[in-house]
Chains A and B, each alone.
Chain A
Amino acid sequence: MNFSVNELEEKFRQENYISDQDILVPVYLALKLEKPLLITGAPGVGKTEIAKVLSRILDTELIRLQCYEGLDENKALYEWNYQKQLLHIQANKDSSSIETEIFSKEYLLERPLLKAISQPKKVVLLIDEIDKTDAEFEAFLFEVLSDFQVSVPEIGTILAKEIPVVILTSNGERDLSDGLKRRCIFLHIDFPSPEKETEIIKAKVPQLGTELTWQLARGVAYLRTQLALKKKPSISETLDWAQALLTLNAQRMTEHLVDQTISLLLKDKDDLDLFREKGGAKAMLKQTASAESSASGHTHGKV
Chain B
Amino acid sequence: MENFLENNIIRFVQILRSLGIPAGTSEAMDALTAVQHIDLTDQKQFHAALKATLVKDAVHDPLFNSAFTKYFVESPFRDLQLDAKKEYVQGMEDAKKELEFQEQPLDLDQQYLDLYGQLPEESRQQFKEFLKKTSEGKNVSPKFKPIVENVIKGALEYHRTHSNLPQLIPVELTGEEEIDAVLHEISHDQEMVDLYFQNMASIQEEDYQEATHLIRKLARRLASRISRRYKQSSKIKRIDVRRSIRAGIKYGGTLLDLKYRQKKVQKPEILLLCDVSGSMIKYSQFTLQFMSGLAEVLPRMQAFAFAESLEKIDLMNFSMEGLAQSDRWGEGTNLNISLQQLLKNHHGLLKPQTVFIVLSDTKTMEPDAALRQLQFVKRKIKEVIWLNPLPGNQWSKYSTVKLFQQQAAMWECSSLAHLSNALRYQLG
Contact = CB atoms under 8 A, between A and B. Distances in A.
Interface of A: 4-5, 21-22, 24-26, 28-29, 32-33, 35, 38, 40-41, 69, 74, 79-80, 82, 85-86, 89-90, 93, 102, 134-135, 172-175, 178, 181-182, 184-188, 190, 228
A38 to B, nearest CB: 8
B38 A186 contact: no
B30 interface: yes
A178 B22 contact: yes
A29 B32 CA distance: 12
Given A5-B39, A33-B34, A173 B221 contact: yes
Nearest to A86: B253
Contacts of B24: 182
Given A102-B249, A174-B225, 18 more contacts: A22-B51, A26-B52, A28-B37, A29-B37, A29-B38, A29-B49, A29-B53, A33-B30, A35-B30, A69-B228, A74-B242, A82-B245, A89-B252, A173-B225, A174-B222, A175-B424, A182-B26, A185-B30
A182 B249 contact: no
Contacts of A182: 24, 26-27, 56
A173 B45 CA distance: 29
The prevalent SS among residues of B at the interface is: helix
Contacts of A86: 249, 253
B417 to A, nearest CB: 12
Contacts of B249: 80, 82, 85-86, 89, 102
B56 A186 contact: yes
A187 B225 contact: no
Contacts, number: 102
A29 B52 contact: yes
Interface of B: 22, 24, 26-27, 30, 33-34, 37-39, 42, 44-45, 48-49, 51-53, 55-58, 61, 209-210, 213, 221-222, 224-225, 228-229, 231, 242, 245-246, 249, 252-253, 424, 428
Contacts of B56: 38, 178, 181-182, 184, 186
16 contacts: A5-B38, A5-B45, A29-B53, A33-B30, A35-B30, A86-B249, A89-B253, A90-B253, A135-B229, A173-B224, A173-B225, A184-B56, A185-B53, A186-B51, A228-B210, A228-B213
B49 A172 contact: no
Contacts of A25: 38, 44-45, 48-49, 52
B264 to A, nearest CB: 9
Contact of B228 (A21, A24, A134): A134
Contacts of A4: 39
Contacts of B52: 25-26, 29, 185-187
